[in-house]
Structure 1
């Protein structure tokens, strides 16, 4: 109830009025049945604007810390993330990836839409980085189609580190659904999962027009963090 209240009564109308989202290819999202939405990741606001454009509920995994804050701020943060369709995932430790996978599979088995960022983190510079194979595992284990989505300009609307977004028109582009039924029963094969992931990332590259870098974004971030600060 809170999700639909925020989407159609409270938050959604205001954001649509202010940011006037331009949405292309929405017809590619199936009207029913399980669907994986795979998106590039440019901004914190991606998980807000993209679900607003889809008629069905979209669930994204979010850091568990967003749901455990104390006081009024913690309560408001928890309310916002729960209300916008996000579910908590403990991303610490080696079991984090499997936990996120299980959440996604449960949503898909129930016939819902699960959103995922194959890059695993926000792009540090707007380019598209190598995808992690969790999205492939989800597709192969669930049999759900994958709809690629390009967030076209969210790094301009709300750059990393900027608290408030710029008043620019949001642009989102959905691509045709990808079907991987030809690989049925092959979940767990790392070569197949890499091939499926790379196919998804290729479609995101074409949709977004962004330069593709065959490295993990987190590795690039880690390397940048180790660079000495100029005096």
Structure 2
């Protein structure tokens, strides 16, 4: 109830008025049943604008800290992010990482849409970074399609480090669903999961037109910080692209 109130009464109308958005490909989103909506990640604003233009509710895993802050401010944050359809995830690693995957799989098996950022964090420079394999494992475990979506312009609305949101025209492009049923029974195979993650990132690269960097975004941030301190070289300027379709690194015995 709170989600729909936020979407259609409290927050949604304001977002639609101040940030007109061109949306294409919504017909690619399944009308029912579980599915992963896999997006590039340019800004915090991505989690606001994309669900606004999807008829069904989209659930996003969110930092647990959004839900655990004390005091009045903490309660308001919890109310706000719950209203956006976000669920708390402990990202501290170890068993917590498995708990996050289990939560995502449960959401999908219950027939809901799950929003995921395969890069794991926001892009530090507007480029597209290597996808983590968690999205692949969740897709295989829950046996659901993956719908890629490209957010375009949100980094200009809500630049990293800025608390202000600036009026801009946005674009959201939903791509054709990706079906990974050919890998049925291969959950846990690192070659298969890497292949799936790469295929998702290739689709996002084509949809968004972003330059691809074959390292994780978190690592890129570390390198950029080290470079600023004069310790290490910056992120490579001419990265390679991810492999489309059945990646060559998948052994034939596993891909058949």
Show the 5 A alignment for 1:27-176: 27-176=27-176
SS of corresponding position for 1:226: helix
How far apart, in 2, do the equivalents of 1:33 and 1:93 lie?
Answer: 29
Residues 174-213 of structure 1, C-alpha deviations (whole Å, 9 max, x = no match):
0000001111111100000000110000000000000000
How far apart, in 1, do the equivalents of 2:79 and 2:20 lie?
Answer: 25
SS of corresponding position for 1:151: strand
SS of corresponding position for 2:11: helix
SS of corresponding position for 1:31: coil
Residues 120-146 of structure 1, C-alpha deviations (whole Å, 9 max, x = no match):
000000000000000100111111000
CA shift, 1:97, in A, is 2.4
How far apart, in 2, do the equivalents of 1:120 and 1:29 lie?
Answer: 22
Identify if the C-alpha distance between structure 1 residues 228 and 176 changes in structure 2 by more than 3 Å, giving closer, same or farther: closer
CA shift, 1:170, in A, is 2.0
SS of corresponding position for 1:27: helix
- Residue aligning to 2:217: 217
SS of corresponding position for 2:59: strand
- Residue aligning to 2:199: 199
SS of corresponding position for 1:48: helix
How far apart, in 2, do the equivalents of 1:153 and 1:100 lie?
Answer: 29
SS of corresponding position for 2:205: helix
CA shift, 1:229, in A, is 4.5
| Number of aligned residue pairs | 230
Residues 36-94 of structure 1, C-alpha deviations (whole Å, 9 max, x = no match):
00000000111111111100000001110000112221111111100000000111132
TM norm structure 2: 0.87
How far apart, in 1, do the equivalents of 2:166 and 2:224 lie?
Answer: 26
Show the 5 A alignment for 1:178-189: 178-189=178-189
CA shift, 1:228, in A, is 4.8
SS of corresponding position for 2:3: helix
SS of corresponding position for 1:171: strand
SS of corresponding position for 1:7: helix
RMSD: 1.1
**Structure 2 residues not aligned, in runs of 5+:** 231-256
Greater Cα radius of gyration, structure 1 or 2: 2
Residues 155-178 of structure 1, C-alpha deviations (whole Å, 9 max, x = no match):
111111111111001211100000
SS of corresponding position for 2:61: strand
TM norm structure 1: 0.97
How far apart, in 1, do the equivalents of 2:229 and 2:182 lie?
Answer: 50
